[in-house]
Amino acid sequence: MESTTRAFNDNVRRAIGDAGLRRSLDKLGHGFPVKRRLAAERLPEFETLRDEARDIKNHVLANLDTYLAAFEAKVTETGGQVHWARDAAEARDIILAVCRDASARTVTKSKSMIGEELAINDHLEAHGIQPIETDLGEYIIQLRHEPPAHILAPAIHLSKEQVADTFRASHDGLPRDRDLEAPETLLKEARAILREKFLAADVGLTGANMLVAETGSIVLVTNEGNADLTQTLPRVQVVMASLEKVVPTLEDATTLLRVLARSATGQEQSVYTTFTTGPKRAEDPDGPDAFHVVLLDNGRSGMVGGDFQDMLRCIRCGACLNHCPVYATIGGHAYGWVYSGPMGKVLIPNLIGMETAKDLPNASSLCGRCEEVCPMRIPLPRMLRDWRRRQFAAGQTGIIARWALKSWAFWARRPGLYHFFADIKMRSLAAAAGRRGRFRSMVMAGGWTGSRDLPAPQGRTFQAQWDARGGKR
């Protein structure tokens, strides 16, 4: 999809001015973290499982070629077909070709971040095939032509009134004045409409939470059951997955599943976890006749072995978003592309370029809450600093920031001069503040004083006073 990441600061101002969004984000920031903590506390082995989950993915990333080849062999052996795509355009072409071969008119789709990366819906629509999102949140934002605002809860930014308006505008043939007050009513209407779409679809397009090399299975996790209807009812199933989704064995998938839901929603396990292996067997009463897996690279193979390899451990649980005070302030759309939150800040520059996404690694206080809760123990703050280091080296750090850093460093490296002038400066500032002890505004400090007073120094520096007292040196 097109990114608006360059306009990050405009996006931020718009988000902060949106009172409805603020309410949703406040609810999110106080809901998921509590649920996650309770789930973690209920499982004494949780921290050990996080270590093991990290180790599994590290092992996979050290042997990704081998595991992908093993996965491909098993898919083929069980009657499916694997397609490889270097980039989004190749993946779109492959998926369109499969749909055309199936003479598809409608495609049901379960929520997939790779689908967002590919902007596959726009592509299918442009070629006369109707894609229908089936995750309730994703369905709502599809009707509104918006990107997801959260990887788990795509419509997190909307009120039920906005959803009702959207349904009135989009669901033809229903009475305009029908009651759409309660969330239950909205769900009921969407369920009835989507049920018919499920039954009529020619192709089911899904993502994959994991790929299992041992068996050639894909793993899909949902609470709604929409991915299962998507993959069970149509004649053809197409799975979109990025390379790093592979794990070695069913046991390894199981370990990851023990930390995924707990980290994401605080559930012990999601409602539906499905291991799908190939198309329907000859004697099966249901399931698709054909099973395709599209493996997308789109920049990932270049991350292997480099500074950002650890990011490829991500299992898209959303815990880092749920716990991030910056995400809680600006929401998902401000990040300007498919992903958001701390994981988005690290991943997006890898996928669409450091220059385009240059604000993302900087718009962080590096508070570390993301790393604290990441089930895969991804060192997100370290990688944000890695991006900043690259930006500084590439001369992408702003000229004023650069000048300020350099002049500060000049003084910081000359303690004698620093102490002498600092004492003079602090005394004059303290005098300027007078009896009030703070400044309401200050030249060159508008970033600070726009929203807070600037406390004034007490007077003489500690170093000067220590000298005056004859303190030990």
Interface with another protein includes 35 (CB under 8 A)? no
Interface with another protein includes 470 (CB under 8 A)? no
Q: Quote the tokens at residue 324.
A: 């991030």
Q: How far is the CB of 19 from another protein (least distance, A)?
A: 12
Residue type, 87: D
Closer residue to another protein in complex, CB, 126/401: 401
Print the binding letters for residues 94-123 with another protein: x by CB under 8 A, - otherwise: ------------------------------
Report the residue from 118, 228, 345, 349 that binds another protein according to the rule CB under 8 A: 228
Q: How far is the CB of 115 from another protein (least distance, A)?
A: 17
Q: How far is the CB of 443 from another protein (least distance, A)?
A: 13
Interface with another protein includes 1 (CB under 8 A)? no
CA distance 240 to 362: 31
Report the residue from 95, 132, 151, 186 that binds another protein according to the rule CB under 8 A: 186
Q: How far is the CB of 325 from another protein (least distance, A)?
A: 5
Interface with another protein includes 315 (CB under 8 A)? no
Interface with another protein includes 390 (CB under 8 A)? yes
Query: What are the residues facing 454 on neighbouring strands?
Result: 439
Closer residue to another protein in complex, CB, 123/150: 150
Residues in 392-431 that interact with another protein by CB under 8 A: 392-393, 397, 401, 405-406, 408-409, 411-413, 415-416, 418-419, 422, 426
Distance of CA 427 to the CA centre of its chain: 48
Interface with another protein includes 133 (CB under 8 A)? no
Interface with another protein includes 135 (CB under 8 A)? yes
Q: Which of 329, 319, 318 is nearest to 22 (CA)?
A: 329
CA distance 215 to 290: 17
Interface with another protein includes 309 (CB under 8 A)? yes
CA distance 189 to 172: 12
Q: How far is the CB of 340 from another protein (least distance, A)?
A: 14
- Contact status, residue 327 vs residue 33, Cβ threshold 8 Å: no
Report the residue from 173, 175, 395, 434 that binds another protein according to the rule CB under 8 A: 434
Closer residue to another protein in complex, CB, 393/399: 393
Report the residue from 144, 168, 171, 388 that binds another protein according to the rule CB under 8 A: 388
Interface with another protein includes 134 (CB under 8 A)? yes
Interface with another protein includes 281 (CB under 8 A)? yes
Residue type, 420: F
Distance of CA 224 to the CA centre of its chain: 20
Q: Which stretch binds another protein (CB under 8 A): 99-107, 121-129, 227-235, 335-343?
A: 227-235
Interface with another protein includes 65 (CB under 8 A)? yes
Query: What are the residues facing 240 on neighbouring strands?
Result: 294
Interface with another protein includes 389 (CB under 8 A)? yes
Report the residue from 289, 355, 372, 403 that binds another protein according to the rule CB under 8 A: 372
Interface with another protein includes 163 (CB under 8 A)? yes
Interface with another protein includes 284 (CB under 8 A)? yes
Interface with another protein includes 195 (CB under 8 A)? yes
Q: Which stretch binds another protein (CB under 8 A): 50-58, 118-126, 335-343, 349-357?
A: 50-58
Closer residue to another protein in complex, CB, 177/284: 284
Interface with another protein includes 353 (CB under 8 A)? no
